[in-house]
Amino acid sequence: MSPTLLQDPVISSIAKIYNRTEAQIILRWIHQLGVASNPRSMNETHMKENLDIFANPFIINDSDMMRIANLAQDTCDVDPDWYECVGNGNLP
């Protein structure tokens, strides 16, 4: 099994280059791809770090974007019991 993205050595090395956290690199990568994200945190420091990619924007260069895109991808099965239901609670 691959390390989590927050622990991945490639992400860590890119974070050092840009002087950012691993989470900020991942969020910026997602944003640069034009994909909406919904990061969650109960930690005030992490919330501020998440918002900082917009308050103090930076651009990940094309080479580093590709390094992230080429990381091994773990997959998992979806567990419908993990998700909260809205409405009557019945899944389609």
Distance CA 53, CA 69 (A): 19
- pLDDT tens-digit series, residues 64-77: 999 999 998 766 66
Residue 64 resides in a domain: yes
Distance CA 15, CA 21 (A): 6
pLDDT value at 89 more than 70? no
Residue 91 resides in a domain: no
Distance CA 47, CA 41 (A): 6
Residue 52 resides in a domain: yes
Tokens of 20: 């950012």
Residue 33 resides in a domain: yes
Residues of the domain holding 49: 5-82
Tokens of 77: 């099965």
DSSP string, 24-74: HHHHHHHHHTT-------S-HHHHHHHHHHHHS-----HHHHHHHHTS---
Residue 65 resides in a domain: yes
How many domains does the chain contain in total?
1
- pLDDT tens-digit series, residues 39-85: 989 999 999 999 999 999 999 999 999 999 999 876 666 666 665 55
Residue 69 resides in a domain: yes
Residue 50 resides in a domain: yes
Residue 24 resides in a domain: yes
pLDDT at 5: 86
Position 30 confidence tier, pLDDT thresholds 50, 70, 90: very high
